[in-house]
Amino acid sequence: MILVILEHDGQRLRKAALEAISRARQLSSLGPIAGVVIGENTQAVAQEAARYLPAVYAAEVGPYTPEKWAEAAHAAVQKSGARVVVASGGRQARTWTARLAYKMKAGLLEDTLQTSTDGQHIIGTRYSFLNRVTERQQAPLPVVFTAKPNTTPLAEPEGSGAVEALEVSLPGGVEVLERLSEQKKGVSLTEATVVVTGGRGLGSPEAFAGVEELAGALGAAVGATRAVVDAGWRPYGEQVGQTGKTVQPNVYIALAVSGAVQHQAGMNKSKYIVAVNKDAEAPIFKIADYGIVGDVHQVLPALIEAAKKLKD
Amino acid sequence: MKFIAVIRQVPDGESRLKIEGGKVDLSGVTMILDQMDEWAVEEVIRLQEKHGGESVVVALGPERFEEAIRTALAMGIDRAIHLVAEGYTDPITQAELLAETLRAEAPTLVFTGGQQADWDSQALGAAIAEALGWPVVSWTTQIELEGETHAKARHDLDEGAEVVRVALPAVFTSQQGLNEPRYPTLPGIMKAKRKELKKVPVSASSKVTVLEQTIQERTRLNKLIDGKDPVAAAHELVKLLHEEAKVI
Ligand SMILES: Cc1cc2nc3c(=O)[nH]c(=O)nc-3n(C[C@H](O)[C@H](O)[C@H](O)COP(=O)(O)OP(=O)(O)OC[C@H]3O[C@@H](n4cnc5c(N)ncnc54)[C@H](O)[C@@H]3O)c2cc1C
Ligand SMILES: Nc1ncnc2c1ncn2[C@@H]1O[C@H](COP(=O)(O)O)[C@@H](O)[C@H]1O
């Protein structure tokens, strides 16, 4: 039996949940698949999930804590007898899946790009060493793994399943006092096919007007480096890198970004990398496909013009 | 009160990695205290400075980790315990080994890095918390003790952040913004040499095996355009992206 933890926003399944279902289906030689919806409004979301899976548990546990999620997932594991658990790999999932793996005495494969089975093990591919190395890992069943977002085709509905409420004894210890949501505007950074990132070399928060204009002309999302976020020029939600978001767009345009390894960890798998930097020795040029060696204050307005002309 | 940081030694991100026989070969690579663990060490020292008590680092890894442990001691940590184990063990197994020592130490809280710069794993802190039956707060950007029984912490979620009150003892993992780590001073480095470093040999079999590692860097085109004439350069770049790469 395989158990999929289905991510949702309280109303609908997220895309990541459909990716996780696809991952589970790829392992169907290991047995049937069940799903679990954890959190709030789980009955309604589980009804949607039942269009994809033969059996769906709904664990109504209230707002997120890693303890509750791990406990609910574990209850579903015990109920279903699952020996493989598939979850999507955001920050939160990578916290509670570690708790779950420990409860199950299972091997944990984190942030996998691909997964397969030989009947006894799960074999997963993933990045390591700040996204520089690609490695294949293997663990004997039972296994918990997380699937890196945007790596797997979305599952299509298939049959119709049954929904069952799941009783979970709720662990305490953490009380949520305040939620601080991120204001989102424009294209989602992690899903964008074009990303335009500004670095400290832009010199001021005002200069980001140009970055936004170029992004607008290209239908791109805006990214930022840590230097820029630390300076308070841009919100943390836009940061790309080791401690920010990981992106893998068709083209990543880095404007006045030096290209520190911690930044590269969030963007080095982009299909094409473009850099504008006045320093020809900047590390970003070593991983760039195209670049302009020049002053961003002169090049950026010209780029905006050229991009707008292209659209007309 | 007692504050513990769990630390690891990792390759400096700036150094070149090479592959030998299908595995990353770290010989000749500069090794450092993981920078996310450095935030954990700094926070533990600050908590001790503010609330008194003791600061300790615990590390699980090969002999060479001693250098990173010394760095933490030189920053101001009181003493260290090094569980010496060679080879790769996965974070879940590591948590099991570390939990025994941590339980015996009975700290107020444990801090570790949010993500490891070698295995890119985010699991260790949460797995330790599970092994000890404590709550975990991951990607912590702010922490404040409320007496000896609770802490108020701010931490990052997938999107946005939240403020939580958590019962102690608990495990916290670090995130950027938590603090600015201090540099070890020369007297600090001298003092560290005399601080207690207890070594305990351990062994465990990893649940996860690394089969093969490769460095699959995309071959980059490295086409650089001189920006002296910005308009011409921008025009050429946009043309290349549109006609050659076909990405815009
Ligand atoms: C544990 C840890 C985690 C980290 N995580 C992240 C992370 O997630 N993301 C991240 O980005 N960083 C991260 N960092 C920080 C990282 O090491 C760098 O400090 C940061 O990426 C630098 O940002 P930058 O490129 O904007 O600034 P700088 O390094 O200052 O680079 C500015 C660049 O702009 C160029 N420039 C200046 N003026 C002009 C001009 N007029 N025209 C053209 N070019 C110009 C300069 O030549 C230079 O190359 C992390 C660091 C640590 C220790
Ligand atoms: N302050 C210290 N910092 C790091 N390692 C130490 C320290 N003191 C002793 N050691 C190491 O602990 C082991 C035993 O130390 P000793 O018995 O003092 O020689 C040796 O490997 C020493 O290098």
Q: Is residue B9 part of a domain?
A: yes
Q: Is residue B117 part of a domain?
A: yes
B100 touches chain A (CB under 8 A): no
Query: What pLDDT was estimated at residue A312?
Result: 80
Q: Which two structure tokens, joined as six digits, stand for B231?
A: 């308009």
Q: Is residue B143 part of a domain?
A: yes
At how many degrees (to 10) do helices B91-105 and B124-132 cross?
50
Interface of A with B in 146-205 (CB under 8 A): 172-182, 184, 193-194
Among B57, B61, B27, smallest CA distance to B43 is for: B57
DSSP-derived 3-state class of residue B22: coil
Is B235 found in the same domain as B193?
A: no
Is B75 found in the same domain as B121?
A: yes
State how many domains chain B has.
Answer: 2
DSSP code, position A208: H
**From A68-72, A307-311, B194-198, the region with the lowest mean pLDDT:** A307-311
- Determine the distance in angstroms separating the CA of A84 from the nearest CA of chain B, rounded to an integer: 14
Is B222 found in the same domain as B174?
A: no
Is B195 found in the same domain as B153?
A: yes
| For residues A245-254, average pLDDT | 96
**In which domain, by residue range, is B234 found?**
218-248
DSSP code, position A3: E
pLDDT, tens digit (0-9, with 9 covering 90-100), for B190-217: 999 999 999 999 998 999 999 999 998 7
Q: Is residue B107 part of a domain?
A: yes
Interface of A with B in 215-234 (CB under 8 A): 218, 226, 230
At A276, the pLDDT band (50, 70, 90 cuts) reads: very high
- Is the pLDDT assigned to residue A184 strictly greater than 80? no
Task: Please indicate whether residue B195, judged by its CB atom, sits closer than 6 Å to ligand 2.
Answer: yes
Among A248, A250, A280, smallest CA distance to A267 is for: A248
Query: What pLDDT was estimated at residue A183?
Result: 72
Question: Nearest residue CA, atom 12 of ligand 2?
Answer: B197
The CATH number given to whatever domain includes residue B132 is 3.40.50.620
Whose tokens are 């444990």? That residue is B110
CB atoms within 10 A of CB A73: 29
- Determine the distance in angstroms separating the CA of A250 from the nearest CA of chain B, rounded to an integer: 6
Ligand number, closest to the Cα atom of A261: 1
Is B223 found in the same domain as B135?
A: no
Q: What is the B105 CA–ligand 2 centroid distance (Å)? A: 20
Kindly compute the dihedral angle of the four CA atoms of residues B84, B85, B89, B93, in this order, to the nearest 10 degrees: -60
At A182, the pLDDT band (50, 70, 90 cuts) reads: confident
Q: Is residue B140 part of a domain?
A: yes
pLDDT, tens digit (0-9, with 9 covering 90-100), for B18-70: 999 999 999 999 999 999 999 999 999 999 999 999 999 999 999 999 999 99
Is B165 found in the same domain as B134?
A: yes
Query: What pLDDT was estimated at residue A127?
Result: 97
B79-84 and B54-61 as β-strands: parallel, antiparallel, unpaired? parallel
Which residue is closest to B114 within chain A, CA to CA?
Answer: A243
CB atoms within 10 A of CB A236: 20
The identity of residue A142, as a single letter, is: P
Question: Nearest residue CA, atom 50 of ligand 1?
Answer: A262
Q: What is the B31 CA–ligand 1 centroid distance (Å)? A: 22
Q: Is residue B210 part of a domain?
A: no
Ligand number, closest to the Cα atom of A211: 1
Is B137 found in the same domain as B227?
A: no
Query: How does the average pLDDT of chain B come out, rounded?
Result: 97
- Is the pLDDT assigned to residue A68 strictly greater than 90? yes
Question: Nearest residue CA, atom 5 of ligand 2?
Answer: B197
pLDDT, tens digit (0-9, with 9 covering 90-100), for A82-115: 999 999 989 999 999 999 999 999 999 999 999 9
Give the count of Cβ contacts less than 8 A between chain A and B: 275
A33-39 and A121-128 as β-strands: parallel, antiparallel, unpaired? unpaired
At how many degrees (to 10) do helices A91-104 and B124-132 cross?
40
Residues facing residue B5 across a β-bridge: B57, B111
Residues of B in contact with A250 (CB under 8 A): 247
Is B72 found in the same domain as B187?
A: yes
Query: What pLDDT was estimated at residue A250?
Result: 97
Is B30 found in the same domain as B72?
A: yes
Query: What pLDDT was estimated at residue B217?
Result: 78
Task: Please indicate whether residue B189, judged by its CB atom, sits closer than 6 Å to ligand 2.
Answer: no
Query: What pLDDT was estimated at residue A181?
Result: 85
Question: Nearest residue CA, atom 49 of ligand 1?
Answer: A258
Question: B114 vs A161, B10, B31, B66, B111, CA distance in Å?
Answer: 38, 14, 19, 21, 9
Among B133, B159, B42, B217, smallest CA distance to A134 is for: B217
Query: What pLDDT was estimated at residue A22?
Result: 98
Is B82 found in the same domain as B170?
A: yes
Which residue is closest to B16 within chain A, CA to CA?
Answer: A132
Q: Is residue B109 part of a domain?
A: yes
- CB pair distance less than 8 Å for B160 and A66: no
Is B107 found in the same domain as B186?
A: yes
**% of chain A exceeding 70 in pLDDT:** 100
- Alpha-carbon distance of A308 to A296, in angstroms, equals 18
Q: Which two structure tokens, joined as six digits, stand for A279?
A: 């320093």
- Is the pLDDT assigned to residue A140 strictly greater than 90? yes
Q: For residue A174, give the nearest of B131, B166, B238 by CB distance.
A: B166
At A158, the pLDDT band (50, 70, 90 cuts) reads: very high
Q: What is the B77 CA–ligand 2 centroid distance (Å)? A: 15
Ligand number, closest to the Cα atom of B198: 2
Query: What pLDDT was estimated at residue B60?
Result: 98
Is B160 found in the same domain as B53?
A: yes
Range A74-80, long-range pairs (CB < 8 A, 24+ positions): A74/A100, A74/A103, A74/A104, A75/A166, A75/A167, A75/A168, A76/A3, A76/A5, A76/A34, A76/A36, A76/A166, A77/A3, A77/A104, A79/A166, A80/A1, A80/A3, A80/A34, A80/A55
Q: What is the B9 CA–ligand 2 centroid distance (Å)? A: 17
| For residues A22-31, average pLDDT | 97
Residues of A in contact with B24 (CB under 8 A): 129, 133
Query: How does the average pLDDT of chain A come out, rounded?
Result: 96
Among A289, A266, A287, A91, smallest CA distance to A190 is for: A266
Strand order in the sheet with A133-140: A114-117, A121-128, A133-140, B209-214
Question: B177 vs A230, A236, A290, A299, B141, CA distance in Å?
Answer: 8, 10, 33, 32, 5
Query: What pLDDT was estimated at residue A188?
Result: 86
Query: What pLDDT was estimated at residue A89?
Result: 85
Q: Is residue B209 part of a domain?
A: no
- Determine the distance in angstroms separating the CA of B187 from the nearest CA of chain A, rounded to an integer: 31
